Amino acid sequence: MKNQVLCMGILLFMLVVPRMAAQEYRLQSVVRATDGPIVGATVLEMGTANGTMTDVDGKFVLTVSRAGALVRISYIGYRTVELPAQSNQFRQGITLEEDLLLLEDVVVIGYGSVKKNDLTGSVIAIKAEEMNRGSVVSAYELLQGKVTGLQVIPGGGEPGTSATFRIRGSSSLNASNDPLIVLDGVPLTQNDFSSINPNDIESFTVLKDASAAAIYGSRASGGVIIITTKKGSPDGKKFSLSYHGALSVKQNTQRIDVMDAGEYREFITDIYGDRVSPLLGDYDTDWQSLIFRTGFMHDHSLSASGNIIRTIPYRLSVGYTQDEGTMQASWYKRSTVGLNVSPSLLKDHLKIAVNARGSIGTGRNSNALEAAAYFNPTQPPHFYNTDGSIDYSTTNGYWNWGSGRGKDYLANIQATGNPLATIYDWHNKGANYGFIGNATIDYKVHGLEDLRFNLNLSTDETWGTNQRGSNPGSFDTYLDTAAPGIGTYRDVEWKSYNRMLEFYANYNHDFSGHAVDWIGGYSWQHKYSHSLTAQRYNADYDTYPKDTLFGNEVTDDKENYLISFFTRLNYSYKSRYLFTFTLRDDASSRFSPETRWGLFPSAALAWNVAEEDFLRSLPAVSTLKLRLGWGITGQQDIGENNYYPYIARYSMSTGTQYMYYMGASGLSYLLTPQAYDPGIKWEETETYNVAIDYGLFNNRIHGSVDFFLRKTKDLLNSVSIPLGSNFSNTLLTNVGSIENKGLEVALNLIPVSTKDLSVTLGFTGTFQKTKFTKLTFSGDENYGVQVGTILAGTGGFLQLHKVGYSPYAFYCYQQVYDANGKPIQNALVDRTGDGLITSGDRYMVDKHPDPDFYYGINLKVNYRNWDFGFNAHGSVGNWMFNDIYNAHSTSAITLGYNMVDNYARTVLKTGWTDTNSDAQNYSDYWLENASFFRLDDVNVGYTFRFPQYRNLSFRIAASVQNVFVITPYSGIDPEAMGAGSSSNYRYAYSASSTGIDRSIYPRPRIYALRLNINF
């Protein structure tokens, strides 16, 4: 790394600013569209920061350095024009041509950018401004339903949660399916961007197919999302200030359907009679209403941008969000600061860009929905003294199961704690800090301006501390065997970074119509993480003072290196025939020297038919492009815990319960060799893409249709291996293949586009299908990998990966129903006919959690200063196992536990009274169709403009988010499959619960009022 800083030094050495001599020229003109003058068009002297904007009449005056200087005029939605200052056209006034598709716009792709019109791959670029005008706290909301082939699965309604992204479905099993997220050239460590202030985002580029993503090689099997943040403008606008603020009210809309106290008392007494009466209280407590509240959220961001001495554009932004969850006591605060400076020196030969972005996040979560739903409604929230005041002597005043009060209190270890205690009676202190920074130096060679060198040094760092645990005296502490009644807390500190050095050369030349754009480069990346975890006493206990360490401190350090060489050639002939070839050679420290290098090629062809003369005569067709792509990408990301799958590793046990008495030598820890595969190697995905981009009637109707086929082989997969040859019966190795195919359709309609009124209607739809084509070495088609644990049962699995089926396909017993269509408890179809219900009676239900089709719809209307819009998305053909009801499907209880829980009303529906057999837990009865349509938001805004005051404008908007969901699914949320990943979680959700609903934090409905000021 040290050596590599030298490279940067060599380039900096050339940093000399020569003086410029000039013969100034005053340019004066007017800029129009077909229906009137254009206000606010940007006029810029090329190669300088010298520029201005047109006024209310479309007029402008600009003094340029010389008469021959190139001047660029641009305005969003129109084709950019570049002309020498002394051109005649300025005298006549400039008329800009409408360009609804922004084909001239430059799209950021990996290691460079191309004109939208010249794209060959499946690349979608969207400007943040155009995406969503509702209230956005997390940047992922901007992308929901907007891009074909991109599924955004939100993680639940908890403040600070992120989402899971899937581009064109999942093609890996044990390896990551997350797309690579690149922020201004920095690959992010965390696969979410919850710490980024959405107001700082300028645009997203989503690279979907291999030909586009291959330049990122090994990290790009799941596709790439490139985020570009707003920069200080290089144009003449000297200083601008903008403020975005939002005030939101959040309301819970979902509950788990359980009995109220009266209904419950009657129901349980009917079944168990007097035996249950000692376990019933006289209260009528609606626990769910006690845990929910109306949450408030406010969000502010302020940014300033400008240009110092017309050479150093900068942008500085600060943001602050305070978000209160709808569940009591849950909240999240985030402060962000971002700065970028991008000086352009040596007459634009040397461009330097420095980005720095910091964030501090703190939060506290609550996860008491399930506890509140099922806690006994006849019991009171608190223990009370005889005078009615709360008796704090027992479990800190919260009513809990057990016997005795005060010092005599004996907790009932079969019980769960009071939901209010779950919310309030614990502490959580800590913060997450993040810093993302990079510096790029781009040098255009003097005398050979077509050649440039680019060096990018970046780092993504996160660190923080956290202390959390139950309060001393709380119910949970009585279950803590380390210090009953006192408890311990977890004390964690961590840091991680992802540092990168990239260097590439770029040659770009137009040989009279034959445009060549070549890059070749090298990339070095080091990922490192460290954590220190300790368990400490909550308060003085026995001879241990508060904060004394219980057990051992556990340190965990991990690292991974990725090194790559890459090259790409873009060739185009008159923007008609386009060709791209990419080759990347990647090495990962995860694999052995024999297998660590993977070579990943890709190629794409595109034909801009619309540019052909024979189509120019057909004015109805404004865009027609055929694209053909092929490529191979690799995958090595099998998680932080698998950094050395090829080496024999040994782990020494740490807990006292993992020891053995070795006679005279005393107790010994255990040294365990881990299973490993010396030959483990890259997983490879081969992608084919065939597509048409179309536009009709001056692109009033436009969109694209993509067909893709992805075949992944050598899946990094945990499979059963013969016993005796390794240290486990399962091994992470390369075996199996998976196939995804799909059709993506994007359709945009612009029925009206005038200066006063414009209407845009967008529709994206993706059909997709994924199935395994091979899973074992032998190709045994009967073999299945069991996945998906459920709440009930003793560790069995609900789903199966199996050849011919989609991943996580449900593998169930078939429920037997009576004449009235009611399910009969513990009656399952004996499919083998042997008179017994054995695992052989399970069957592949042929239903899966992945949707067959998912879609997004959005509408934008602008009328004069008014704007209106909505966003919606949905899916069809995805099924969910309602595990939360499955686990509460019978009224059978164990009276010996001396506690009783509430019943879900599903108990009335099933009428079941016996204990469920283990097989019953895996019945297909609880599979439900989780197709849905969700209206994500509706928004309306009005913009006040004061062009006379330096283009001052402000917009006031109101929006409703999560307006409604239409679904046949009976649980809380048909999208409940997302993984919660916030590090301030007290209880971690199982991330692998694909298609299994274990109750999430319900997503609230949000009413927001928003103010934007631009100055």
Map the footprint of another protein across residues 580-609, applying CB under 8 A: 587-589, 593, 596
Restricting to residues 325-364, which ones interact with another protein according to CB under 8 A? none
**Considering the complex, what minimum distance in angstroms separates the CB of residue 556 from another protein?**
6
Q: Does 492 bind another protein (CB under 8 A)?
A: no
**Considering the complex, what minimum distance in angstroms separates the CB of residue 73 from another protein?**
42
- The pair phi, psi for residue 214, each rounded to 5°, is -60, -25
Residue nearer to another protein on the CB measure, 573 or 797: 797
Q: Does 88 bind another protein (CB under 8 A)?
A: no
Restricting to residues 1-20, which ones interact with another protein according to CB under 8 A? 3-4, 6-7
10 Å CB burial of residue 404 (0-12, 13-18, 19+) is exposed
Q: Does 726 bind another protein (CB under 8 A)?
A: yes
Selected binder of another protein within 240, 335, 575, 720 (CB under 8 A): 720
Q: Does 403 bind another protein (CB under 8 A)?
A: no
Q: Does 799 bind another protein (CB under 8 A)?
A: no
Selected binder of another protein within 277, 294, 838, 865 (CB under 8 A): 838
**Considering the complex, what minimum distance in angstroms separates the CB of residue 971 from another protein?**
26
Piece in contact with another protein (CB under 8 A), picked from 324-332, 396-404, 538-546, 832-840: 832-840
Selected binder of another protein within 733, 886, 891, 923 (CB under 8 A): 733
Piece in contact with another protein (CB under 8 A), picked from 128-136, 151-159, 518-526, 924-932: 518-526
The size of the chain, in residues, is 1015
DSSP class of residue 198 equals: G
- The pair phi, psi for residue 447, each rounded to 5°, is 90, -20
* CA distance readout (Å), 30 to 27, 37, 63, 77, 236: 10, 8, 15, 18, 17
Residue nearer to another protein on the CB measure, 550 or 1007: 550
Strands 94-95 and 81-84 turn out to be unpaired
Residue nearer to another protein on the CB measure, 821 or 896: 896
Measured between alpha carbons, how far is 384 from 431 in angstroms, rounded to an integer? 36
Q: Does 670 bind another protein (CB under 8 A)?
A: yes
Nearest to 482 by CA among 418, 554, 539: 539
Residue nearer to another protein on the CB measure, 526 or 574: 526
Restricting to residues 610-649, which ones interact with another protein according to CB under 8 A? 643-644, 647-649
Selected binder of another protein within 162, 171, 506, 560 (CB under 8 A): 560
**Considering the complex, what minimum distance in angstroms separates the CB of residue 999 from another protein?**
24
10 Å CB burial of residue 951 (0-12, 13-18, 19+) is middle
Piece in contact with another protein (CB under 8 A), picked from 449-457, 536-544, 721-729, 1002-1010: 721-729
Q: Does 463 bind another protein (CB under 8 A)?
A: no
DSSP class of residue 924 equals: G
Cα 116–Cα 353–Cα 446 angle in degrees, nearest 5: 80
List of residues 6+ apart from 356 with CB closer than 8 A: 338, 339, 340, 435, 436, 437
**Considering the complex, what minimum distance in angstroms separates the CB of residue 89 from another protein?**
44
Piece in contact with another protein (CB under 8 A), picked from 94-102, 272-280, 532-540, 838-846: 838-846
Restricting to residues 434-453, which ones interact with another protein according to CB under 8 A? none
Structure tokens at 415: 């019980």
Residue nearer to another protein on the CB measure, 404 or 679: 679
Q: Does 795 bind another protein (CB under 8 A)?
A: yes
Piece in contact with another protein (CB under 8 A), picked from 21-29, 226-234, 717-725, 928-936: 717-725
Restricting to residues 903-962, which ones interact with another protein according to CB under 8 A? 917-918
List of residues 6+ apart from 174 with CB closer than 8 A: 638, 639, 642, 715, 716, 717, 718, 732
Nearest to 215 by CA among 111, 107, 121, 106: 111
Restricting to residues 878-897, which ones interact with another protein according to CB under 8 A? 896
**Considering the complex, what minimum distance in angstroms separates the CB of residue 643 from another protein?**
7
Dihedral angle, C-alpha 424, 427, 428, 429, nearest 10 °: 130
Structure tokens at 726: 């390794």
Question: Buried b vs exposed e over 984-1013: b needs ≥16 C-beta within 10 Å?
Answer: bbbeebeeebbbbbbbbbbbbbbebebebb
Residue nearer to another protein on the CB measure, 385 or 555: 555
Structure tokens at 177: 């399916």
Nearest to 148 by CA among 621, 627, 691: 691
Selected binder of another protein within 728, 898, 953, 1014 (CB under 8 A): 728
Residues that contact another protein, how many (by CB under 8 A): 83
Restricting to residues 520-539, which ones interact with another protein according to CB under 8 A? 522, 524, 526
Nearest to 150 by CA among 137, 164, 139: 164
CA-derived radius of gyration, the chain: 31
Q: Does 543 bind another protein (CB under 8 A)?
A: no
Residue nearer to another protein on the CB measure, 293 or 558: 558
**Considering the complex, what minimum distance in angstroms separates the CB of residue 438 from another protein?**
19
Piece in contact with another protein (CB under 8 A), picked from 87-95, 662-670, 753-761, 807-815: 662-670
3-class SS of residue 246: strand
Nearest to 850 by CA among 880, 820, 824: 880
Selected binder of another protein within 20, 282, 387, 481 (CB under 8 A): 481
- The pair phi, psi for residue 343, each rounded to 5°, is -70, 145
Q: Does 669 bind another protein (CB under 8 A)?
A: yes
**Considering the complex, what minimum distance in angstroms separates the CB of residue 147 from another protein?**
35
**Considering the complex, what minimum distance in angstroms separates the CB of residue 430 from another protein?**
23
Residue nearer to another protein on the CB measure, 383 or 783: 783
**Considering the complex, what minimum distance in angstroms separates the CB of residue 481 from another protein?**
7
10 Å CB burial of residue 939 (0-12, 13-18, 19+) is buried
Selected binder of another protein within 796, 929, 985, 1007 (CB under 8 A): 796
Selected binder of another protein within 24, 408, 449, 556 (CB under 8 A): 556
Residue 693 and residue 745 in contact, taking contact as beta carbons nearer than 8 Å: no
DSSP 702-714: EEEEEEEEEEEES
Measured between alpha carbons, how far is 63 from 366 in angstroms, rounded to an integer? 61
Piece in contact with another protein (CB under 8 A), picked from 56-64, 380-388, 657-665, 871-879: 657-665
Measured between alpha carbons, how far is 503 from 493 in angstroms, rounded to an integer? 34
**Considering the complex, what minimum distance in angstroms separates the CB of residue 660 from another protein?**
4
Residue 155 and residue 125 in contact, taking contact as beta carbons nearer than 8 Å: no
Restricting to residues 42-71, which ones interact with another protein according to CB under 8 A? none
Q: Does 282 bind another protein (CB under 8 A)?
A: no
Structure tokens at 301: 């961001």
Strand partners, 566: 521, 584
